[in-house]
Amino acid sequence: MTASPHWPITTTLARDLHHFRSPRDLRASFTMKPGDSPRARCELLEMAESSTANAEPLEWPKKDKRRLLHVVYRVGDLDRSIKFYTECFGMKLLRKRDVPEEKYSNAFLGYGPEESHCVMELTYNYGVSSYDIGTGFGNFAITTQDVYKMVEDIKAKGGTVTREPGPVRGGTTVIAFVNDPDGYVFELIQISATPKPLCHVMLKVGDLERAIKFYEKALGMKLFRKGEKPDDKYTLAIMGYPGENETNVLELTYNYDVTEYTKGNAYAQLAIGTDDVYKSGEVVKLVIEELGGEITRQPGPLPGINTKITSFLDPDGWKTVSLCFMNFKPLYSWE
């Protein structure tokens, strides 16, 4: 706010904003000082109280215990996808269900129990055999101890290899790219054994700094690292939760001078666990007011079951669903 000559805001007055813990503390600390105008002080107090009220909910992500639960996307033939993922990628079918009243089936696949691993949720909608992946979805990534062998196995089973195994440009890490039967791109990365081979989900964004700020503030993620690739004209950011800096991360990619992408109708959303979906929803609402996005479902229980969720779009239109850990109990046993 710019003070008028008739209502000056002194340096002392502005400095008061940095010495409060709550609106009540702030108001109690505001005493008139020489040079302060009553009107300017009231205006600044209103602004500060509003800022304080917003600051308290924004602390919640720092206290919340969060992790990536699963990534959801649509496929044209569920049994075909299950066969490909189990035989080519070595995943295990965790559970499968059919929901005829809503005309869809889904399957959860991964490398470990859902209570501790991020997994893939594949959805088949009755009668829909293909989808538009769009230009914004990037890829999934899987780690393996031998990329060459995995690629040979995929070829033997009729899979499509779009980049043969070999070191990354300017480095030594061996990678390859393959497509699943629906055209989703999977990056295969050769590293030593890891208990969580599902490595990352990569999405393209039009403003990387805005996206980083959104996922830090709205979802409590940490920026693990950024990588500038001027020769390839892109920058990437690796984000996730503490303890997951090598696997189960979100990779955001900004391609130089590209600010918009098509979303298609194939990729659906990320699901993230939270201890309190209502507090998490309040944080998301405040961040959306600042950075953009949209609430698509207010916090609350799903009809007929006790699972509490909220869902929203980030500033680039990518969807996230937050689920309450307390009510999220997958119906399967890991063997």
Residue 51 φ/ψ region, left for φ over 0, alpha for ψ in the -120 to 50 degree band, beta for the rest: alpha
Catalytic residue among 187, 244, 251, 282: 187
DSSP state of 111: S
- 187 noted as active-site residue: yes
Paired with 61 in beta bridges are: none
Amino acid at 269: Q
Residues whose CB falls within 8 Å of the CB of residue 116, separated by 6 or more in sequence, listed in order: none
Residue 315: name the closest of 199, 203, 202, 185 by CA.
203
Distance CA 235, CA 148 (A): 28
Distance CA 123, CA 106 (A): 4
The reply to whether 101 sits in an annotated binding site is: no
Residue 277: name the closest of 314, 246, 320 by CA.
320
Distance CA 133, CA 130 (A): 9
Using only C-alpha atoms, the chain has a radius of gyration, in whole angstroms, of: 24
Per-residue b or e along 291-305, where b marks 16 or more CB atoms closer than 10 Å to that residue's CB: bebeeeeebeeeeee
Residue 60: name the closest of 283, 324, 285 by CA.
283
Residues whose CB falls within 8 Å of the CB of residue 119, separated by 6 or more in sequence, listed in order: 69, 70, 71, 94, 108, 109, 110, 111, 198
The reply to whether 164 sits in an annotated binding site is: no
Distance CA 74, CA 13 (A): 56
Residue ranges of the annotated binding site for Zn(2+) are 121, 187
Residue ranges of the annotated binding site are 121, 187
By annotation, the residues acting in catalysis are: 187
